[in-house]
Amino acid sequence: MSIIANTFQTFQAKGDREDLTDVIWNIDPVQTPFVTSVARAKATAVLHEWQTDSLAAANGTNAQIQGDDISSFDSVTATTRLNNYTQISRKTLVISRTQETVLKAGRKSEVALQLAKKGKELRRDIEQICVGTNQAKFAGSTGTASNIASALSWIVTNTSKGATGGDPAAADGTGTRTDGTQRTFSEDQLKSVLLGIFNSTAEEPDIALLPGKQKQIASAFTGNQTKMQDTSDKRLVASIDIYVGDFNASGLRMMPDRFMRTSNRDVLVINSELWAMAWLDPIRQEDLAKTGDTAAKKLLIGEFTLECRNEKGSGGVFDLS
């Protein structure tokens, strides 16, 4: 093929306008199922405290003689006082005056766009801090930031672990999990945790938080039912969103969480009413003093902690592959 001599083409042109779509596509995930689902509480100090209580074990030999005089009394147990430290998380940005002023594609204000992004990023950070880290509480010091005990640091009573895996020494946020030999997630592991929760508490868990890989495995659980499909319906349903077991008649919502540990090794079985995000200082936006040729300096900051109201109402399957 050939072209006529001196044909002026776009390759030589200098004044053609750019073709830039006036939309910015961002499909990064922003769902934070743990932080969104649990209760909300108010913290009033950097050491946030709460109490738990328990009943004595049932006594199957509680039989008394007629007319017996009481000479000794049952022991009375005190409540348990628990606590967690608050943690400060923040995002910052600075935008030049020129960048805010020039005509832009996909947004009118660079400051507004970046603030919206930073807000979503901060939410993702807090979700990962709560369920995607294996960290104990730390009071902090003059030169070191304090941090909360994450959910993994609280769950002790109702767990399924791999060989060499270990729970924190106590259900008080002072220890961390010992990772053990990884194994394939199974329905029997989940059922053992649900049985443990049933034996420990009158409360039913309502949420299971799973990494993507474990959600796929859970969707293949067979339960005690045969799956049916209407031949007139061309959809193939290959997921389980609600798991109803022997001890959770209301159902366990199977919720994938992208911000759990990247090794896919944890599945958390949660009673959302027994956990709370306690905010000492809810996330807020502040304008920082301008210096030089800047349009805006912004700070997004919040101070929070995680309240585990009673870990016996939750559990976890750990050391998964």
CB of 267 within 8 A of CB of 255?
no
**Local structure of residue 5 (DSSP, 8 states):** T
- Report the share of the chain in percent with pLDDT over 90: 70
pLDDT at residue 224, rounded to an integer: 58
**pLDDT per residue as tens digits for the range 92-131:** 999 999 998 999 888 899 989 999 999 999 999 999 999 9
For residues 190-202, give the mean pLDDT.
93
**Residue 238, both tokens:** 């290959």
User: CA-to-CA distance for 252 and 270, rounded, in angstroms?
Assistant: 9
Average pLDDT over the chain reads 90
CB of 300 within 8 A of CB of 122?
yes
**pLDDT per residue as tens digits for the range 242-264:** 888 888 778 899 999 999 998 89
pTM for this predicted structure: 0.88
Query: Token pair 């009071």 is at which residue?
Result: 139
Secondary structure class of 141 (helix, strand, coil): strand
CB of 147 within 8 A of CB of 138?
yes
Domain ranges of the chain: 33-50+80-223+237-317
User: CA-to-CA distance for 26 and 169, rounded, in angstroms?
Assistant: 43
User: CA-to-CA distance for 264 and 270, rounded, in angstroms?
Assistant: 17
**pLDDT per residue as tens digits for the range 266-307:** 999 999 999 999 999 999 999 999 888 888 899 999 999 999
* CA end-to-end span of the chain: 58
